[in-house]
Amino acid sequence: MDGVRPRKQPAKAANGVERKINGYADLGDRTTASAEPTENIFLFWPNVIGYSRIVLAIASLYYMPLHPRTCSCLYSISCLLDALDGLAARQFNQSTRFGAVLDMITDRCTTSCLLVFLSSAFPRWSIVFQGLISLDFASHYMHMYATLTMGSGQSHKKIDQSRSRLLHLYYNNRTVLFVFCALNELFFIALYLLSFSSPMLSPSLLPAGDKAAGTAQPGNPSYASSLIFATPGSAWAMELARANKMNSFWPWVLAGVSSPVMLGKQILNVVQLVKASKWLAEGDIKARRAEGLPKKK
């Protein structure tokens, strides 16, 4: 029509992709961006292994009160997969910060759940188990926070020798790391099994007519059955106790072999807590100096 200027159509590049002219969208840039490979961090193989660890841990908690063999098996598999996710991360080049945090959280939570059970199974030692839970969480939280803030986002496993030779050896030597983590868990699993097998540690395993049997504790068949039946000597309780009865020899052996490493692991937790606290304090001093603090009077 006369007097009406035709609207400019977008120019096309040689490859037929529209470019931005007079307000038109640049489809070429969008095409280029969409062509870049995308990754779903949540579906990386190490993280998938981490999810399976959580499922196994929850299943072990379900069986924990009355089925020591099933619980120990599921719990042990969950712990052993902790080494497999690291191998997968290196094999597929899928090391991520999300995976590192997921791995640490899973470790802390599973161990804490087992220690909570031990606190109820051995009430006289509950304060010790509560202290171990607190030390484990405080040490690893402080350490990870310090490495993320003071180490410019570096991995919590990258520890310089100048900061701590013990922690450098622990985190950088895979054999040392595996042995300490595995035997630490093995010690607590052994205590868990002893709560079902050792009359020395669990008085409720003594015959029902014994005066010492009056102190029934969680984790033992007589305790759970007495909540339902009038006496622990009922047919159901006796059958369950017979099915779960265990020999205490091997749990004692496992506890004795792993106890030195468990103690060493707690010493490492204390060292890690102290070193991380000092590292954060050094950062606070630098930040205060940059702000001109403390001010001179």
Torsion of CA 20, 23, 29, 34, to 10 degrees: -140
How many Å is the Cα radius of gyration of the chain? 29
CA–CA distance, 71 with 76 (Å, rounded to integer): 8
Residue in 225, 220, 224 with CA at minimum distance from that of residue 205 = 220
> Which residue type sits at 69?
R
The sign of the CA dihedral 176, 182, 187, 188 is positive
Distance of CA 206 to the CA centre of its chain: 36
Q: Pick the catalytic residue: 107, 136, 210, 284?
A: 107
82 is catalytic: no
Torsion of CA 37, 39, 45, 50, to 10 degrees: 170
Q: Provide the annotated active-site residues.
A: 107
